[in-house]
Amino acid sequence: MRAALVTEPGRLEVVDLPDPTPRPGDLLLKVASAGICGTDLHILHGGFAQSLPLVPGHEFAGEVVAVGSEVTGFRVGDRVTADPNMPCGHCPYCRVGRGNLCDDFQALGVSEAGAMAEYVRVPAPLAVKLPEHLALEDAALVEPLSCAIHAFDVLSLRLGARVLIYGAGTMGLMLLQLAKQAGATSVHLVDLNPDRLATVDLLGATGAAASAEEFDRPQGWDVVIDATGNPRAIADALGRVSKGGTYLQFGVPPEDARVEFDPFRVYKHEISILGSMAVLHSFERAADLFATGLIPPEIFISHRFPLEQAPEAMALFAAGHGRKVLVQPGA
């Protein structure tokens, strides 16, 4: 099969690899699309992945073309997406239902071969069937949506909250849609990219600007979410939380990033600081919610590349252009 392969830090090549063979408990999928996200950039530059070379791609959907001998409930021709995460199931965090914090966290496209290829092997318990009315190529959006849903599980957003989101990429836009769905009174977004700000307007945000200063809200916001991972944005965001408010770190910063904050203000104003990491009991809900049309693909997906152009797709995403960038092996 043809596959995009991170051969060494900073190098992505499209190469020939042996077709994967399903184990007894696996499905083999013909990949319709694989989305690119910030985690893939970390992997490309030597982070996250336990070893290279590695086929990236943890956001994907495809058609079942082979079924392992022990698999029930799936058959050839099923249209599926899959939760890429594979917690160990027996560490202290897994035993209390916190698999996303697993001591031996594994994931397709991170520690095992992912879906930026013609075929991907998936443990059957991770797969979720998709309804016929969805375009299979668009369903790579389910995985990032499941991450955004987990963020709102962490937040426990109150009705009537005022929300500020840093970053108007795919994740910031998904958080916008969920905040509106969850009953926020207002949702403002901050991004330096004017093209992304124009997309925010299409989705009906309360306001979108290059700086939170433009919103003239000195008292701050009840909930402030960083979806950039940028330390400068994070430092600014922490200062925008209102008294009694909540800050959520959703974006993935560099592992060595450091940000100064005012601990006395956190104490005096009873500010909560939370983190949201990956997916936790939210993947099937994401598939169901995606099927309702809450996340319109024509707005969220800006670029589609054939597999042979995966390096160009990664470079485009790294440059900050567009929204969700897909690699479509069947294109």
In this structure, the answer to whether residues 196 and 118 fall within a common structural domain is no
In this structure, the answer to whether residues 176 and 237 fall within a common structural domain is yes
List the beta strands (DSSP E) in 169-260: 186-190, 207-209, 221-226, 241-249
Q: How many helices (H) and strands (E) does the chain have?
A: 10, 17
Q: In this structure, is residue 282 part of a structural domain?
A: no
Q: In this structure, is residue 169 part of a structural domain?
A: yes
In this structure, the answer to whether residues 226 and 153 fall within a common structural domain is yes
In this structure, the answer to whether residues 97 and 186 fall within a common structural domain is no
Q: Kindly tell me if the per-residue pLDDT of 20 is higher than 80.
A: yes
In this structure, the answer to whether residues 170 and 202 fall within a common structural domain is yes
pLDDT digits (tens, 9 = 90+) for 213-255: 999 999 999 999 999 999 999 999 999 999 999 999 999 998 8
In whole angstroms, give the CA distance from residue 136 to residue 305: 15
Q: In this structure, is residue 289 part of a structural domain?
A: no
In this structure, the answer to whether residues 210 and 270 fall within a common structural domain is yes
pLDDT digits (tens, 9 = 90+) for 195-207: 899 899 899 999 9
In this structure, the answer to whether residues 258 and 317 fall within a common structural domain is no
> Mapped to the 3 state alphabet, what secondary structure does 261-281 carry?
CCHHHHHHCCCEEEECCCCCC
| Residue percentage of the chain with pLDDT more than 90 | 93
Nearest CA to 328 out of 297, 307, 302 is that of: 307
- What's the mean pLDDT in 164-189? 97
**Strand, helix or coil for residue 260:** coil
Q: In this structure, is residue 288 part of a structural domain?
A: no
In this structure, the answer to whether residues 248 and 308 fall within a common structural domain is no
pTM, two decimal places: 0.96
In this structure, the answer to whether residues 114 and 184 fall within a common structural domain is no
- What's the mean pLDDT in 296-308? 97
Q: How many domains does the chain have?
A: 2
Nearest CA to 266 out of 310, 320, 220 is that of: 220
In this structure, the answer to whether residues 204 and 316 fall within a common structural domain is no
Look up the domain containing 322 and give its range: 2-129+296-328
In this structure, the answer to whether residues 195 and 114 fall within a common structural domain is no
Contacts of 33 (CB under 8 A, 6+ apart): 60, 61, 62, 136, 137, 138, 139, 140, 304, 326, 327, 328, 329
Q: In this structure, is residue 264 part of a structural domain?
A: yes
Nearest CA to 253 out of 228, 279, 278 is that of: 228
CATH number at residue 110: 3.90.180.10
CATH number at residue 207: 3.40.50.720
Query: Within a 10 A sphere around the Cβ of 229, how many other Cβ atoms?
Result: 19
pLDDT digits (tens, 9 = 90+) for 62-111: 999 999 999 999 999 999 999 999 999 999 999 999 999 999 999 999 99
Q: pLDDT averaged over the chain?
A: 96
Contact (CB, 8 A) for 140 and 81: yes
In whole angstroms, give the CA distance from residue 126 to residue 71: 12
Q: Which amino acid is at 149?
A: I
pLDDT digits (tens, 9 = 90+) for 25-73: 999 999 999 999 999 998 999 877 668 999 999 999 999 999 999 999 9
**Strand, helix or coil for residue 309:** helix
Nearest CA to 170 out of 327, 36, 304, 40 is that of: 36
User: What is the per-residue pLDDT for 330?
Assistant: 82
User: What is the per-residue pLDDT for 46?
Assistant: 84
Q: In this structure, is residue 135 part of a structural domain?
A: no
Q: In this structure, is residue 171 part of a structural domain?
A: yes
Q: In this structure, is residue 291 part of a structural domain?
A: no
In this structure, the answer to whether residues 271 and 302 fall within a common structural domain is no
